[in-house]
Structure 1
């Protein structure tokens, strides 16, 4: 089996233990991974802290940091296909998506490379004539970045990129499910020339790795992507070190289609929103809210698309739907579909695992028009399962869209510009896509609220989140300081 190592302080090692990683397409072990435990976490945080305080990094100019990030981006581009193949092998994501996504990941590092020397402070027009006052933006410190297995190189880039641009150092915990591409990324990073310890990459399990890392006294900020329940543990852990947090969590994103929408375009976007990546996406458009005037036509076309999707092994370029990453995800999909059907949802297509080797679950559509309380409408599947509800009025569509504890993404399809603006204002979500879906850019921040978390990743906002403001007062008068017992 292939062997992978962790990366701490610029050195590769096996970790305190080893564990097997399984190929989701066939269910068998294919690689051995390093399992970080408390001693490894301690070493990683110590390395990051030492690097943060070292003149090699602390005194490096922002422009020089940017040049290193440019070099990293170039190496990612050169190694994109290797990274894509590893991600496909270890997570089951189809190769046509991993190849495209990882090639674009390099653009995130280029964006933050260019932004590194543009994180500016400010001069304040202070109300005291003998004072000059300005703000400095300084790096937060040591960042614990925790990423899930899905789109992990992308989700790591929107943490590592702004953190290093701002001058922080990072301990990144890759998911124990499918960590191969992040551990290979460490080998690429090692070639760039960053000082040792600026980035450390480990993987391991909850109690012995994740909990130790997020509660560690040497951590200043925790950037977490994952589920709400794990996020609650992260927030509790951060009470130990009073670290700030940014949480990018899951969603039950509404996908609203009005009667005047371009149906072909909306159907294709809905397929992208829920069946691409086998539904394993935090922004999955998992709740279709469609006008009753076009519902039957829309569902028929969507059903045809779902049933014609090419299901197969993820390393074939013709495959459109691959396996779910873990057996646990497969079982969850089975259980939630069964519970939803029991609550009155009707299966339009799919609904049961495929009778084949691996964690394969077909594109599934559940019509919940007569089952408004079906669990598929409120619980995140993280799989290719779409719940459908019809509506008659704009107000009803908005009410259904906002009937969720999440608030990450949303989609609106309509040709009516004024209606689109009303929906943009009314939908409670961090992202609103209008007449498109699942589009991203390093320039545009993303994130949510409620059970979808807080903070933003991507864009200038993310870089500022990795800084703290220092206020500097400089007295310009040579006169003696006046009355010492009165605050100025």
Structure 2
């Protein structure tokens, strides 16, 4: 019996670039069984963390050796420019190395002050088999924000990549095996979410689900995993605000705003897709922004000079254009870009700026996931904060001002997991990454990135003869 295959068409030229197996429920069950055997009976969870780190670092070196090939797979499947795909693979290597080091530093606690004959120990242990669901916009980088950290904690993984961008997940798993990571520790099942993703999140052998993707699908995974009380960590959608005050460095703020909405064709959950700009500088700011956007090069993602490549597929391309059209019908004013600047051959959408956006408009609230910027003007700090927080999402926002009082007041008032000050789409491996509200819960990166994949166990050791009080302090006198 021949296996059904998924054909991935290039978003740039509509040619077949890959064929992946259409995974089944049985495939998921087999992968989970292999991961559970590796966890319950294998050496990986019981291995010295320093030895695990050696395997991970060798894995990182093998990824670096295959940098160009992995980057080109990302370009073919995602449609992003090659220069950014290369940067993604560099980040993957850094993430694997960082996770290796974190694994060596992971530790528990000891309490020696709970009684003369008692010692308390708190162990941090791997949670078990982790189901990992990867999105299509940053497939290699998101893989590396999850899997190496779970492995460093001693877990085993079953990974379900997007059916659009499965290539790098399969290649990374292959390189893990070449690095000597034991069989069953890293498993990949390709296929569709309604089959493979559903079976993975619903499998009772999976102790935790780690998901990045839409809020809608995230809710489904939380519910499915909850049927067998599995833990979940979900990084979901966003509708970030870029807040520009009148005293900001306009040149820097324009450049940051441009990057925030155009990077990766705007297919980015942390994109600053709402521009909140002080009314006193709004006109000048938008003029400069439109000029900067016109200088971006859109086209062949394999061209080293290209800044924006293709949207992920035609359905998403059409969806972004519908959002632009709907906004204009609701009264938005087109500043640059728009439907007329889009090209169906190659699925290219130019960075689009829509002014005069009111909070009642759909474009103020919906995650478009494309290079579309909604502009709203404000007069006071309080108005800016209120507008930024007027969203179900809470992933990432940025604030631009040279006044540190303004920056810190706004940053502390924003209900989001990430706040950038006078920068955008920035980060460091040491800083936790994640959101609040409909943007999800759980954190990646930093120490939190490995702690997500652990559980705590308390051990109380009694020495000598136990007394009747069990070491409990007497109740206060009445």
Quick one: distance in 2 between partners of 1:349 and 1:471?
59
Contact between 1:15 and 1:40, CA under 8 Å: does it hold in 2? no
- In the TM superposition, residue 16 of structure 1 has moved relative to its aligned partner by 4.3
Runs of 5+ unmatched residues, structure 2:
474-478
In 2 relative to 1, CA 391–51 (structure 1 residues): closer, same or farther, beyond 3 Å?
A: same
Q: CA deviation at 1:392?
A: 0.8
> Is 1:454 equivalent to 2:450 in the alignment?
no
Match of 2:217 in 1: 230
Correspondences of 1:70-89 after superposition (within 5 Å): 70-89=57-76
Shift of 1:485: 10
Equivalent position of 1:416 in the other structure: 403
Match of 2:123 among 122, 128, 136: 136
Aligned to 2:185: 198
Q: In 2 relative to 1, CA 408–355 (structure 1 residues): closer, same or farther, beyond 3 Å?
A: closer
Deviations 1:101-144 (A, max 9, x none): 21122111111111112110001244322111111111000000
Task: Give 1:79-478 correspondences, 5 Å limit.
Answer: 79-352=66-339, 354-369=342-357, 371-477=358-464
Deviation of the 1:15 alpha carbon: 9.4
Q: How far off is 1:206 after superposition?
A: 2.0
**TM-score, length of structure 2 as denominator length:** 0.96
Query: How far apart in 2 are the matches of 1:485 and 1:342?
Result: 72
Report if the CA contact (8 A) 2:36-2:156 is conserved: yes
Q: Which residue of 2 aligns with 1:52?
A: 39
Question: What is the RMSD computed on CA atoms of the aligned residues?
Answer: 1.7
TM-score of the aligned structures, taking structure 1 as reference length:
0.94
2:434 & 2:404 partners in 1: Cα distance? 25
For residues 340 and 38 of structure 1, the distance between their equivalents in structure 2, rounded to whole angstroms, comes to 41
- Kept in 2: contact 1:291–1:392 (CA 8 A): yes
**TM-superposition CA deviations, 1:324-346 (whole Å, max 9, x none):** 00112111111111111111111
Query: Are 1:30 and 2:12 matched, yes or no?
Result: no
Alignment length (residue pairs)? 472
Whole-Å separation in 1 of the counterparts to 2:431 and 2:366: 27
Deviations 1:446-485 (A, max 9, x none): 10110100010001011111111111111111x3x44499
C-alpha change, 1:485 and 1:98, in structure 2 (3 Å) is: closer
Question: Contact 2:162–2:190 (CA<8 Å) still a contact in 1?
Answer: yes
The answer as to whether partners of 1:339 and 1:374 remain within 8 angstroms in 2 is no
Q: Distance in 2 between matches of 1:484 and 1:437?
A: 57
The alpha carbon displacement at 1:30 in A equals 2.3
Q: Could you tell me how far apart the structure 2 residues matched to 1:316 and 1:358 are?
A: 13
Contact in 2 for aligned 1:267/1:302 (Cα 8 Å): yes
In structure 2, the residue matched to 1:11 is none
TM-superposed CA distance for 1:73, in Å, is: 1.1
In 1, the alpha carbon distance for the partners of 2:256 and 2:243 equals: 11
Change in CA separation of 1:15 and 1:237 when aligned onto 2, cut-off 3 Å: farther
